[in-house]
Amino acid sequence: MRRLATLFALVLVWAPSAQAEEPERGTAEEAQAMVARAIALYDQAGMGDAFRQITLSPDPGFRDRDLYLFVIDQAGFMAAHALYPGSVGTNGMNAVDSAGTRYVREIVAHATPGGAWVDYIFIDPLTGAPAPKSTWVVLHDRFIFACGIYAGEVGI
């Protein structure tokens, strides 16, 4: 009986944790910095070059862990997207999340030159499941530059 208890204790010590480790997440500050870098690129390189770079060759400056940059115009058309390049040119004004939020309309309505946070539900790129998301949106020269977070800071 004593051997069985010792064996059981060893198994508990050596067994991998039943809980999977939470993946490292981007922060609110990192999302805001990503948007600022994209606006700086837009101002320096121009619209076409900036949107091509964001969409076609996103380095960690525009896609990192669960952070990714996207740009829409004020009519809801996707102009650039670091994670979903196939969405460029589509209009999301009528897109609805699982809670019934027309999140692209919310982004367009709340974006300001100073920036704002918009909350909705979207697919988490690290888990593939719908999750609460807060997106930092900045209106700049007719476009809305955006990057969201999925980690515990939602609702900031």
Rg (CA), the chain: 20
Q: Return the pLDDT at 5.
A: 38
Q: Does a structural domain hold residue 91?
A: yes
CATH of the domain at 145: 3.30.450.20
Q: Which of 21, 50, 47 is closest to 126 using CA atoms?
A: 21
Domain region containing 66: 27-149
Three-class SS of the chain: CHHHHHHHHHHHHHCCCCCCCCCCCCCHHHHHHHHHHHHHHHHHHCHHHHHHHHHHCCCCCCEECCEEEEEEECCCEEEEECCCHHHCCCECCCCCCCCCCCHHHHHHHHCECCCEEEEEEEECCCCCCEEEEEEEEEEECCEEEEEEECCCCCCC
Q: Does a structural domain hold residue 132?
A: yes
Question: What residues are paired with 119 via a beta bridge?
Answer: 134
Q: Does a structural domain hold residue 12?
A: no
Please tell me the pTM assigned to this model.
0.83
**Residue-wise pLDDT tens digits, 35-53:** 999 999 999 999 999 999 9
Number of domains observed in the structure of the chain: 1
Q: Does a structural domain hold residue 143?
A: yes
C-alpha–C-alpha distance, residues 146 and 117, integer Å: 9
Q: Does a structural domain hold residue 5?
A: no
Task: Using the predicted structure, report yes or no on whether residue 19 has a pLDDT greater than 90.
Answer: no
**Residue-wise pLDDT tens digits, 57-108:** 867 789 999 999 999 999 999 999 999 999 999 999 999 999 999 999 999 9
- Sequence-ordered list of residues with C-beta below 8 angstroms from that of 136, at least 6 positions apart, any chain: 28, 31, 32, 35, 115, 116, 117, 146, 147, 148, 149
